[in-house]
Amino acid sequence: MQAGALQGIKVLDLSRVLAGPWAGQMLADLGADVIKVERPCAGDDTRAWGPPWLKDAEGRDTRDAAYFFCANRNKRSVAIDIATPDGQALVRRLAAEADVLLENFKVGGLRQYGLDYESLKSVNPRLIYCSITGFGQDGPYAQRPGYDFLIQGMGGLMSVTGPAEVSREPGVAGEPLPEGQGPQKVGVALVDIMTGLYASIGVLAALQHRHATGEGQHIDLALLDVQVAALANQTANHLIGGLVPKRMGNAHPNIVPYQDFPTADGDMIVAVGNDAQFARLAESAGHAEWAGDDRFATNAARVANRAVLIPLLRQATVMRTTREWIERLEAAGVPCGPINRLDEVFADPQVVARGLRVDLPHPVAGTVPGVANPIRLSASPVAYRTAPPLLGQHTDEVLRDWLGD
């Protein structure tokens, strides 16, 4: 087996739930030795976030929820009670040997244990200490707890996610919309995931800085900062264009047509990115004349005349099945695709060919399925070494390997 890109890097992961563990799993996948510090008896919060539960080899529910298994591959678990003096002393000894520490306690939460950055910096000046919080280490909200759903709302993501906004009748502006018609959160904890990825990038940058200077540093990462940064073109539309983006359902604010369309037996996505693709779409729909129509010939014109074009396209798309449309549009070079359920995703030939499902040996379940890391490195590929660990599974092993105990 080839060595991972981060082989030799030691990571002490004091985080729990998703954002921090996602960063830890990323570093572990890349070859780092990631030690997950968990509370004795309870462990990471997500171990209890079931059902569904991992089943043992006889098909019985275990005490570990499926949620835990999405973000803790390739790690070793040690059980340490950091609320006790002995536990704090043990973590300090481990931190003295670590290259990186990940934590997502409230601001100042680890200071009472002597495990904050300044305390551990005195033990290990080369330590890269990554703090993940809801709102960052300063500012008026710094002491507030932060949760993905809350941040999706506060950071603007929900304001542009959900069914297209409708005009309310005069006098009823304060009445609630019907269930499901207002702002919507994304179907996964996307802010946590993005924060985990930004944390990984920050750690890699800090490792390079340490390589050049010998100095460790503190990384201050906030879910709210990440959410605002990740709004991409929507923030640019606002800051540069003076617009306040609104919910548009599955439509795109800057590109038309770029959304879902009904078919004879369901729905599909059409994602036209330029005028040549639109011309091919129009021809495939039996309306080649649309490409020469001044209202539709350019993307800017299509955006301006969205309300005219989209109904015309929908009248055409309902005449064939999803499969027929995809075959027809793919042959014409028009980006398109189905809207798959997860069972259909893992049956998709491309997903199968890319090996996106991985199965790892597990001491209780026999094997545990998971999703492959999407980073494909030619010289130092990701290695799937171990399944997410049992609580405290590696305590003795880690103390021997890191501390010689």
CATH 3.40.50.10540 boundaries in the chain: 10-170+178-229+352-403
Looking at the whole model, is its pTM more than 0.85?
yes
**Pair 164, 140: CB distance under 8 Å:** no
Provide CATH code, domain 258-340.
Answer: 3.30.1540.10
φ, ψ of residue 55 in degrees (nearest 5): -100, 145
Interior/surface letters 348-358, b for 16+ CB within 10 angstroms, e for the rest: eeebeeeebeb
**Pair 37, 61: CB distance under 8 Å:** no
Residue 232 to residue 236: CA distance in whole angstroms: 6
Residue 334 to residue 192: CA distance in whole angstroms: 33
CATH 3.30.1540.10 boundaries in the chain: 258-340
Active site residues: 192
Per-residue pLDDT of the chain (405 residues; tens, 9 = 90+): 567 999 999 999 999 999 999 999 999 999 999 999 999 999 999 999 999 999 999 999 999 999 999 999 999 999 999 999 999 999 999 999 999 999 999 999 999 999 999 999 999 999 999 999 999 999 999 999 999 999 999 999 999 999 998 765 544 555 666 777 789 999 999 999 999 999 999 999 999 999 999 999 999 999 999 999 999 999 999 999 998 999 999 999 999 999 999 999 999 999 999 999 999 999 999 999 999 999 999 999 999 999 999 999 999 999 999 999 999 999 999 999 999 999 999 999 999 999 999 999 999 999 999 999 999 999 999 999 999 999 999 999 999 999 998
**Superfamily for the 10-170+178-229+352-403 domain:** Crotonobetainyl-coa:carnitine coa-transferase; domain 1 (3.40.50.10540)
Residue 228 to residue 138: CA distance in whole angstroms: 17
